[in-house]
C-alpha cells in the first residue's frame, strides 16, 4: 500500500516525479493557493501520510489534525514561519525544509536588488520606455557608489554570510548584528578578504549605507525595522529586504519614504504579501522603491534542487525515517 502525499502546488517535476514513483500523489493544480478549507478537506479525504506545502500555506494544528495518518510536512522553502512547529512536534509530525541550496541564489538576488537601488536601473528603464531619453546628461539619474561603502547586515546566518562574502569584491566595510556573535564565520569571511565587524543593531542602522535584512520571521523579528530604525538610518541609505515581509513595518517604511528619512528601499518580500497593485506604498515606485514578487531563490537550478529536497524530506517522512533536512532540528 503506497503512502499518499498531498502537494499544494505544482513544484518542478524533478521533485514531483520522485514522489510519484513511490507514492500516490495529489497536486493542487492552480497558480494561487488552495483555500485552507479545501486542503484540509483533501488531506482528510486522502488520509494523507505526507503534505508538501509552500510558504503561502498556513499550516497550523487544524491542518495537522485533518488526516490521522499525517507523518510529515515538507515545505518547499527554507523559511518555515508558516508552519506551527510546536503543534507538529506535539503530534510527532516531522517538518522538512530546504536550507543550503538556495543560500547563494538568494545572496545573489539581495545583491541584484542592492545594485538596482543604488544605481537606479529600474528608473532608467522607465525613462527610456517613456521616451524621455533625448541626450546624455551630466547628472541624469545619479545614484550611490556601492564600492567602498558600508554594508550593514541584520543577521549573519547562511544567507547573510553569502551576502557578506560578495562584499569583498566591492571593497566594502561590513557591519553586522545578530542575537549572538559568530566568530568562526567572521574568521572565514576575513580570510576571504571581507572586512567585517560585529556591532549593536542600532549601529548597523546608524552607520550603514546599505542595510540588508537576513533574519527569519520570529516574534522577536516581527516589525524589527520600525520608525526608530528608519529614523536612525542615514538619509541617503538604502534598505534591502529579502527575508520576510513582516520584518519591516510597512506603514513606517511608507512614512520614511515620504519624509526622506532614507533614500530608497528594495523589497523582495512585503507585508501584506502579495502586495496589491493599488497599495499606497507603490506611489513611491520606482524612484524610491523597487519591489519584486518574492523571487530571491528563483533560479531554474535552485528551484529544481528545492523540489528534489522537498521530495526527499517527504519520502523519508512517510517511511518514518529521519528527514535529510529537518526544520525541527534546525530550529532548536
Ligand atoms: C523563500 O523565501 C524560502 O523561504 O525558501
Ligand atoms: C538560511 O538558510 C539562513 O540561515 O540564512
Residue 332 above 80 pLDDT? Answer: no
- Domain extents for the chain? 4-101+300-331, 103-291
Atom nearest to 102 CA in ligand 2: 2
Question: pLDDT value at position 224?
Answer: 98
Tell me the average pLDDT across 296-323. 98
Query: Edge-to-edge, what's the strand order for the sheet holding 173-177?
Result: 195-198, 173-177, 150-154, 210-213, 238-241, 264-267, 289-291
Tens of pLDDT, residues 141-196: 999 999 999 999 999 999 999 999 999 999 999 999 999 999 999 999 999 999 99
The pLDDT confidence band at residue 1, using thresholds 50, 70 and 90, is: confident
Q: Is there a catalytic annotation at residue 244?
A: yes
- What does the alpha-carbon distance between residue 326 and residue 222 come to, in Å, rounded to a whole number? 23
- What does the alpha-carbon distance between residue 36 and residue 27 come to, in Å, rounded to a whole number? 15
pTM of the model: 0.95
From 26, 273, 287, 308, the catalytic residue = 273
From 244, 254, 263, 264, the catalytic residue = 244
Percentage of residues in the chain having pLDDT higher than 90:
99
Task: Tell me how far CA of residue 4 lies from CA of 19, 67, 132, 313, in angstroms.
Answer: 9, 11, 58, 14
The protein residue with its alpha carbon nearest to ligand 1, atom 4, reads: 79
Tell me the average pLDDT across 118-137. 98
The ligand 2 site (C-beta within 6 Å) comprises 78, 99, 103, 157-160, 214
The protein residue with its alpha carbon nearest to ligand 1, atom 5, reads: 77
Which architecture, in CATH terms, is 103-291? 3-Layer(aba) Sandwich (3.40)
Whether cis (ω within 30° of 0) applies to the bond prior to 118 is no
Give the up-direction half-sphere exposure of residue 28: CA atoms within 13 A in the CB hemisphere: 22
The pLDDT confidence band at residue 331, using thresholds 50, 70 and 90, is: confident
CATH superfamily of 4-101+300-331: NAD(P)-binding Rossmann-like Domain (3.40.50.720)
Q: In the numeric block, which cell numbers belong to residue 69? A: 495518518
In testing the pocket of ligand 1, which one of 79, 97, 299, 330 has its CB within 8 Å of the most ligand atoms? 79
Tell me the average pLDDT across 129-146. 97
Whether cis (ω within 30° of 0) applies to the bond prior to 272 is yes
Q: In the numeric block, which cell numbers belong to residue 252? A: 513606517
Residue 330 above 90 pLDDT? Answer: no
Tens of pLDDT, residues 217-227: 999 999 999 99
Hey, do 4-101+300-331 and 103-291 end up sharing a CATH topology, with the first three levels equal? Answer: yes
Going 311 to 317 to 319 to 321, the CA torsion angle's sign is positive
Tell me the average pLDDT across 44-59. 97
Tens of pLDDT, residues 55-109: 999 999 999 999 999 999 999 999 999 999 999 999 999 999 999 999 999 999 9
Q: In the numeric block, which cell numbers belong to residue 25? A: 500523489
Q: Is there a catalytic annotation at residue 120?
A: no
Amino acid at each position: 500500500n503506497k503512502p499518499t502525499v498531498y502537494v499544494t502546488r505544482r513544484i518542478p517535476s524533478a521533485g514531483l516525479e520522485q514522489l510519484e514513483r513511490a507514492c500516490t500523489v495529489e497536486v493542487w493544480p492552480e497558480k494561487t493557493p488552495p483555500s485552507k478549507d479545501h486542503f484540509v478537506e483533501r488531506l482528510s479525504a486522502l488520509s494523507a501520510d505526507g503534505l508538501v506545502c509552500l510558504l503561502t500555506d498556513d499550516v497550523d494544528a487544524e491542518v495537522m489534525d485533518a488526516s490521522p495518518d499525517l507523518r510529515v510536512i515538507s515545505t518547499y522553502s527554507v523559511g518555515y514561519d508558516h508552519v506551527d512547529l510546536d503543534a507538529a512536534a506535539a503530534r510527532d509530525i516531522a517538518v522538512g525544509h530546504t536550507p543550503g541550496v538556495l543560500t547563494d541564489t538568494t545572496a545573489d538576488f539581495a545583491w541584484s536588488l542592492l545594485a538596482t537601488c543604488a544605481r537606479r536601473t529600474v528608473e532608467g528603464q522607465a525613462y527610456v520606455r517613456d521616451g524621455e531619453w533625448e541626450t546624455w546628461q551630466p547628472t541624469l539619474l545619479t545614484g550611490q557608489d556601492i564600492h567602498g561603502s558600508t554594508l550593514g547586515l541584520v543577521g549573519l546566518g547562511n544567507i547573510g554570510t553569502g551576502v557578506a562574502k560578495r562584499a569583498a569584491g566591492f571593497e566594502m566595510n561590513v557591519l553586522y548584528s545578530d542575537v549572538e556573535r559568530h566568530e568562526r564565520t567572521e574568521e572565514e569571511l576575513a580570510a576571504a578578504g571581507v572586512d567585517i565587524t560585529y556591532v549593536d543593531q542600532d549601529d548597523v542602522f546608524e552607520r550603514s549605507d546599505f542595510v540588508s535584512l537576513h533574519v527569519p520571521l520570529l516574534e522577536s523579528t516581527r516589525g524589527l525595522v520600525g520608525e526608530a530604525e528608519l529614523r536612525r538610518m542615514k538619509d541617503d541609505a538604502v534598505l534591502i529586504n529579502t527575508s520576510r515581509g513582516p520584518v519591516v513595518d510597512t506603514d513606517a517604511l511608507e512614512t520614511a519614504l515620504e519624509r526622506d528619512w532614507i533614500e530608497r528601499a528594495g523589497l523582495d518580500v512585503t507585508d501584506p504579501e502579495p502586495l496589491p497593485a493599488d497599495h499606497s506604498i507603490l506611489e513611491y515606485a520606482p524612484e524610491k522603491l523597487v519591489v519584486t514578487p518574492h523571487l530571491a531563490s528563483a533560479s531554474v537550478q535552485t528551484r529544481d534542487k528545492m523540489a528534489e529536497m522537498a521530495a526527499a524530506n517527504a519520502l523519508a517522512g512517510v517511511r518514518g525515517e529521519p528527514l535529510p533536512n529537518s526544520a525541527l532540528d534546525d530550529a532548536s
